Structure 1
Amino acid sequence: MQNKKKRILIGSSGASGMPLLLCCLELIRKAENYESHLILTPSALLTLEHECGLKEKDLQKYADKIYSPEDIGASPASGSFLTEGMLVIPCSMKTLAGIQTGYTDNLLLRAADVTIKEQRRLILAVRESPLSAIHLRNMAQLALLPGVRIMPLMLTYYHCPRTLEDMTNQVAARLVEPFGIKSEEYHRWEGLKT
């Protein structure tokens, strides 16, 4: 029997931003007919524990399936594994460089490579500051590819957030929207009120 839910691959590397990962996973979990397939690097797990006090087993309530990055033969390594695309959140500069050069030495990088070759959506939620010329070059090269979207983890203020949670929800909602997930948390710019 064929899977009727739309799959979204989520890769997570060791940059800061794990609360945003959790928020994106929660938005996918709440969306009807969607499921998440999560690949976490060892650095992501370290950052997750530091920023959120969580371990890999704690993510089972957020993600539908969790893969080890060493499991290079897992389903997401093949283009025949149908997905709506992939979100890498947070995307470290090391992971960005691996994706840009096609260096597929783990499942996260292989899944991103498959996403590119199949011309599916690839959203890279990059996290670094300041950005070097190398970082910018890698992002510029990837932005030229069909379906690739570079979305730095940037806060917005036009929706007049009152809490850190408001800001986190806004960014996460923007990250999952390209996959067809609509969230009440996303406040669009509607122009200045006069």
Structure 2
Amino acid sequence: MSDTDVFMGGRMLPLVEDFYTIQGEGYHSGKPAYFIRLGGCDVCCSWCDARFTWNPKSFPPVSVDEIVARATSFPAQAVVVTGGEPTLYQLSLLSDKLQAAGIKTFIETSGAHTLTGSWDWVCLSPKRNQPPLPSVFKQASELKVIITSLADFEWAEENAAHVSDTCMLYLQPEWSVYQQIIEAVVEYAKANPRWNISIQMHKFMHIP
């Protein structure tokens, strides 16, 4: 059986890293969470701060049972599945086992692929080079748009038009241009108060 077959079956996943920390972005900022980072990404943003995750072949398959056992060995009440792009894989088994253990399941995705699994919170962070599928917009609990330039405010509004009325809206300044863009982000949110601001709090705290 090929690695692809194993991954698509969802019994094993290309685990890059997993760790217990504080969520630094979006609605759940400041909350303890266990992070499961999966390898593989076909969106490949130019400003990505996790380029090392893009090639899934760099990360040997790890069984879902082992991943869940490691997550449940910590006092975390929530798990964040991220990447890379985690929706490249079948995630139903992972999310079901985590929820069976009493853990809330959160996922961060660009929405470029079909979302599988059962999720208590879906953070959709759309990317221009591979926009979200229509089905993922409706599943989003939170829309988090990365702002690298003034043109990204229009992109944010385009995406906000497709999510549900209950979806939380966030603008997040891209870290490498934070100083240059943060004032514009603040002013935009003040003028358009349905938007909130997400900053990468974990980077200011110097934690993973």
Scaled by the length of structure 1, what TM-score is found? 0.38
Structure with more of its chain in helix, by fraction: 1
Structure scoring higher RCO (CA < 8 A, sep ≥ 6) equals 1
TM-score by length of 2: 0.36
